[in-house]
Amino acid sequence: MTRSLALALNALGLYAIALVLLVAFAAQLLLHELPCPLCLLQRIQFAMLAVGPILNVRFGLRPSHYAVSLLTAATGAAFAARQILLHVMPGDPGYGSALLGYHYYTWAFIGFAVAIIALAIMLLFNSQFRDDGKPQPVGALAGTAVGLVIALTALNVISTLLECGFGACPDNPVAYELLKRGP
Amino acid sequence: MEFTALFLAVTIVMVAAWWGTRTVALALFAATLLACIATYLHHASDALQLSF
Protein backbone atom coordinates (compact mmCIF):
# COMPACT_ATOMS: atom_id res chain seq x y z
CA MET A 1 0.00 0.00 0.00
CA THR A 2 1.45 3.36 -1.03
CA ARG A 3 1.63 6.35 1.33
CA SER A 4 -0.82 8.34 -0.80
CA LEU A 5 -3.39 5.51 -0.77
CA ALA A 6 -3.03 5.10 3.01
CA LEU A 7 -3.47 8.85 3.50
CA ALA A 8 -6.56 8.82 1.27
CA LEU A 9 -8.00 5.95 3.36
CA ASN A 10 -7.26 7.94 6.53
CA ALA A 11 -9.16 10.90 5.04
CA LEU A 12 -12.07 8.59 4.17
CA GLY A 13 -11.99 7.33 7.77
CA LEU A 14 -12.39 10.92 8.94
CA TYR A 15 -15.43 11.34 6.67
CA ALA A 16 -16.89 8.11 8.10
CA ILE A 17 -16.46 9.50 11.65
CA ALA A 18 -18.07 12.77 10.54
CA LEU A 19 -21.00 10.77 9.15
CA VAL A 20 -21.46 8.95 12.47
CA LEU A 21 -21.44 12.26 14.36
CA LEU A 22 -23.92 13.72 11.84
CA VAL A 23 -26.32 10.75 12.20
CA ALA A 24 -26.14 11.09 15.99
CA PHE A 25 -26.98 14.79 15.67
CA ALA A 26 -29.84 13.99 13.26
CA ALA A 27 -31.35 11.53 15.76
CA GLN A 28 -30.99 14.12 18.51
CA LEU A 29 -32.45 17.07 16.60
CA LEU A 30 -34.98 15.46 14.25
CA LEU A 31 -36.26 12.63 16.48
CA HIS A 32 -35.82 14.66 19.69
CA GLU A 33 -33.89 11.81 21.31
CA LEU A 34 -31.50 13.29 23.83
CA PRO A 35 -28.36 11.18 24.46
CA CYS A 36 -27.95 9.63 27.91
CA PRO A 37 -24.59 9.90 29.78
CA LEU A 38 -23.39 6.51 28.48
CA CYS A 39 -24.53 7.48 24.95
CA LEU A 40 -22.54 10.73 25.24
CA LEU A 41 -19.44 8.78 26.30
CA GLN A 42 -19.77 6.59 23.19
CA ARG A 43 -20.19 9.68 21.00
CA ILE A 44 -17.04 11.14 22.60
CA GLN A 45 -15.14 7.94 21.74
CA PHE A 46 -16.30 8.19 18.11
CA ALA A 47 -14.94 11.75 17.99
CA MET A 48 -11.67 10.60 19.60
CA LEU A 49 -11.27 7.97 16.86
CA ALA A 50 -10.44 10.91 14.59
CA VAL A 51 -7.26 11.84 16.48
CA GLY A 52 -5.23 9.00 14.89
CA PRO A 53 -6.12 9.87 11.26
CA ILE A 54 -5.56 13.60 11.95
CA LEU A 55 -2.05 12.81 13.26
CA ASN A 56 -1.41 10.59 10.22
CA VAL A 57 -2.45 13.34 7.81
CA ARG A 58 -0.54 16.07 9.65
CA PHE A 59 2.69 14.32 10.76
CA GLY A 60 2.89 11.34 8.41
CA LEU A 61 1.87 7.71 8.78
CA ARG A 62 3.08 5.99 11.96
CA PRO A 63 1.94 2.80 13.76
CA SER A 64 1.59 4.81 16.99
CA HIS A 65 -1.09 6.99 15.33
CA TYR A 66 -3.11 3.88 14.47
CA ALA A 67 -2.58 2.69 18.07
CA VAL A 68 -4.22 5.92 19.30
CA SER A 69 -7.38 5.04 17.36
CA LEU A 70 -7.19 1.36 18.36
CA LEU A 71 -7.14 2.28 22.07
CA THR A 72 -10.09 4.60 21.52
CA ALA A 73 -12.09 1.98 19.59
CA ALA A 74 -11.48 -0.66 22.28
CA THR A 75 -12.62 1.79 24.99
CA GLY A 76 -15.70 2.76 22.98
CA ALA A 77 -16.58 -0.90 22.39
CA ALA A 78 -16.35 -1.52 26.15
CA PHE A 79 -18.69 1.42 26.86
CA ALA A 80 -21.20 0.21 24.24
CA ALA A 81 -21.01 -3.38 25.54
CA ARG A 82 -21.86 -2.12 29.02
CA GLN A 83 -25.00 -0.43 27.70
CA ILE A 84 -25.99 -3.53 25.70
CA LEU A 85 -25.64 -5.64 28.88
CA LEU A 86 -27.77 -3.14 30.83
CA HIS A 87 -30.67 -3.81 28.43
CA VAL A 88 -30.03 -7.42 27.43
CA MET A 89 -32.55 -9.04 29.80
CA PRO A 90 -35.79 -10.39 28.19
CA GLY A 91 -38.61 -7.87 28.38
CA ASP A 92 -36.29 -4.86 28.60
CA PRO A 93 -37.37 -2.43 25.83
CA GLY A 94 -33.88 -0.89 25.63
CA TYR A 95 -32.96 2.78 25.73
CA GLY A 96 -34.28 5.04 22.98
CA SER A 97 -35.65 3.98 19.64
CA ALA A 98 -34.18 1.39 17.30
CA LEU A 99 -32.63 2.06 13.91
CA LEU A 100 -32.97 -0.81 11.42
CA GLY A 101 -33.75 -3.16 14.29
CA TYR A 102 -30.84 -2.25 16.54
CA HIS A 103 -30.55 0.39 19.25
CA TYR A 104 -27.93 3.10 18.85
CA TYR A 105 -25.58 1.53 21.42
CA THR A 106 -25.67 -1.78 19.50
CA TRP A 107 -24.79 0.10 16.31
CA ALA A 108 -22.05 1.87 18.28
CA PHE A 109 -20.59 -1.50 19.33
CA ILE A 110 -20.69 -2.69 15.71
CA GLY A 111 -19.07 0.58 14.60
CA PHE A 112 -16.22 0.28 17.12
CA ALA A 113 -15.70 -3.40 16.17
CA VAL A 114 -15.51 -2.44 12.48
CA ALA A 115 -13.01 0.32 13.39
CA ILE A 116 -10.81 -2.18 15.26
CA ILE A 117 -10.82 -4.56 12.27
CA ALA A 118 -10.16 -1.72 9.78
CA LEU A 119 -7.26 -0.38 11.87
CA ALA A 120 -5.74 -3.86 12.20
CA ILE A 121 -5.97 -4.32 8.41
CA MET A 122 -4.28 -0.91 7.87
CA LEU A 123 -1.44 -1.98 10.20
CA LEU A 124 -0.78 -5.03 7.99
CA PHE A 125 0.75 -2.85 5.27
CA ASN A 126 4.30 -1.95 6.31
CA SER A 127 5.08 -0.26 3.00
CA GLN A 128 3.04 2.81 3.97
CA PHE A 129 5.51 3.55 6.81
CA ARG A 130 8.61 3.75 4.55
CA ASP A 131 9.61 7.40 4.57
CA ASP A 132 11.03 8.48 1.22
CA GLY A 133 12.08 11.83 2.67
CA LYS A 134 9.59 13.78 0.60
CA PRO A 135 7.05 15.82 2.57
CA GLN A 136 3.49 14.70 1.88
CA PRO A 137 1.32 17.75 1.16
CA VAL A 138 -2.08 17.84 2.84
CA GLY A 139 -4.72 17.59 0.12
CA ALA A 140 -8.07 19.36 0.07
CA LEU A 141 -9.87 16.04 0.71
CA ALA A 142 -8.00 15.46 3.98
CA GLY A 143 -8.01 19.11 5.05
CA THR A 144 -11.79 19.36 4.60
CA ALA A 145 -12.32 16.11 6.52
CA VAL A 146 -10.26 17.38 9.47
CA GLY A 147 -12.17 20.69 9.52
CA LEU A 148 -15.51 18.86 9.35
CA VAL A 149 -14.71 16.53 12.27
CA ILE A 150 -13.36 19.37 14.44
CA ALA A 151 -16.45 21.50 13.69
CA LEU A 152 -18.85 18.63 14.52
CA THR A 153 -17.03 17.92 17.79
CA ALA A 154 -17.16 21.63 18.70
CA LEU A 155 -20.92 21.60 17.97
CA ASN A 156 -21.23 18.70 20.42
CA VAL A 157 -19.65 20.91 23.10
CA ILE A 158 -22.52 23.39 22.63
CA SER A 159 -25.25 20.76 22.37
CA THR A 160 -24.04 18.91 25.50
CA LEU A 161 -23.83 22.17 27.43
CA LEU A 162 -27.43 22.94 26.42
CA GLU A 163 -28.56 19.41 27.34
CA CYS A 164 -26.78 18.96 30.67
CA GLY A 165 -26.33 22.55 31.79
CA PHE A 166 -23.73 23.22 34.49
CA GLY A 167 -24.76 20.31 36.75
CA ALA A 168 -24.72 16.53 36.43
CA CYS A 169 -26.35 15.20 33.26
CA PRO A 170 -29.63 13.36 34.01
CA ASP A 171 -29.66 9.56 33.46
CA ASN A 172 -32.71 9.82 31.22
CA PRO A 173 -32.72 13.35 29.75
CA VAL A 174 -35.99 14.56 28.20
CA ALA A 175 -35.31 18.28 27.81
CA TYR A 176 -32.39 20.67 27.36
CA GLU A 177 -31.50 21.93 30.85
CA LEU A 178 -30.37 25.37 29.67
CA LEU A 179 -33.49 25.86 27.50
CA LYS A 180 -35.98 25.12 30.28
CA ARG A 181 -38.11 28.09 31.23
CA GLY A 182 -38.27 28.95 34.90
CA PRO A 183 -41.50 28.62 36.94
CA MET B 1 -21.03 19.27 32.88
CA GLU B 2 -18.32 16.61 32.73
CA PHE B 3 -19.46 15.53 29.26
CA THR B 4 -19.27 19.10 27.98
CA ALA B 5 -15.73 19.27 29.39
CA LEU B 6 -14.83 15.96 27.71
CA PHE B 7 -16.14 17.12 24.30
CA LEU B 8 -14.18 20.36 24.78
CA ALA B 9 -11.07 18.33 25.67
CA VAL B 10 -11.45 16.20 22.51
CA THR B 11 -11.83 19.36 20.41
CA ILE B 12 -8.61 20.72 21.96
CA VAL B 13 -6.82 17.41 21.28
CA MET B 14 -7.86 17.60 17.60
CA VAL B 15 -6.77 21.24 17.33
CA ALA B 16 -3.43 20.34 18.96
CA ALA B 17 -3.03 17.40 16.57
CA TRP B 18 -3.64 19.64 13.54
CA TRP B 19 -1.93 22.90 14.51
CA GLY B 20 0.30 21.97 17.47
CA THR B 21 3.10 19.52 18.10
CA ARG B 22 2.77 15.75 18.04
CA THR B 23 4.01 15.33 21.61
CA VAL B 24 1.47 17.76 23.02
CA ALA B 25 -1.35 16.13 21.03
CA LEU B 26 -0.43 12.64 22.27
CA ALA B 27 -0.14 13.82 25.88
CA LEU B 28 -3.54 15.55 25.69
CA PHE B 29 -5.03 12.46 24.04
CA ALA B 30 -3.80 10.23 26.88
CA ALA B 31 -5.18 12.60 29.52
CA THR B 32 -8.56 12.81 27.76
CA LEU B 33 -8.84 9.02 27.34
CA LEU B 34 -8.08 8.53 31.05
CA ALA B 35 -10.68 11.18 31.92
CA CYS B 36 -13.25 9.32 29.77
CA ILE B 37 -12.50 6.03 31.55
CA ALA B 38 -12.71 7.74 34.95
CA THR B 39 -16.08 9.28 34.01
CA TYR B 40 -17.32 5.88 32.83
CA LEU B 41 -16.26 4.19 36.08
CA HIS B 42 -17.96 6.96 38.06
CA HIS B 43 -21.25 6.45 36.19
CA ALA B 44 -21.18 2.65 35.74
CA SER B 45 -22.21 1.93 39.32
CA ASP B 46 -25.42 -0.07 38.67
CA ALA B 47 -25.01 -3.84 39.02
CA LEU B 48 -25.74 -5.72 35.82
CA GLN B 49 -28.73 -8.08 36.22
CA LEU B 50 -26.97 -10.99 34.59
CA SER B 51 -26.19 -14.57 35.45
CA PHE B 52 -23.97 -16.85 33.40
Dump pLDDT digits (tens) for A67-88.
Answer: 999 999 999 999 999 999 988 8
The rounded radius of gyration (Å) of the Cα atoms in chain B is 15
Q: What is the ipTM of this complex?
A: 0.90
- Is pLDDT above 80 for A181? no
Q: What is the average per-residue pLDDT within A155-175?
A: 87
The number of helix segments (H) and strand segments (E) in chain A equals 6, 2
Q: What is the pLDDT of residues A16-43, one digit of tens each?
A: 999 999 999 898 888 888 888 999 999 9
For A72, name the nearest residue in chain B, comparing CA atoms only.
B33
Residue of B nearest to A59 (CA): B22
- Any idea how long chain B is? 52
Burial class (CB in 10 A: 0-12, 13-18, 19+), A129: middle
Write out the H or E segment, with its range, that includes residue B8.
Answer: helix B2-19
Q: Are A142 and A14 in contact (CB under 8 A)?
A: yes
Task: Please tell me the distance in Å from A7's CA to the nearest CA on chain B.
Answer: 15
Residues B42-52: tens digit of each pLDDT: 887 777 776 66
CB contact under 8 A, A153 and B50: no
Secondary structure string (H, E, C) spanning A86-128: HCCCCCCCCCCCEECCEEHHHHHHHHHHHHHHHHHHHHCCHHH
Cα A180–A181–B4 angle (5° rounding)? 30
Integer Cα distance of A151 and A155 in angstroms: 6
What residues have CB less than 8 Å from A162, skipping those under 6 apart?
A: A176, A177, A178, A179
B3–A149 CB contact, under 8 Å: no
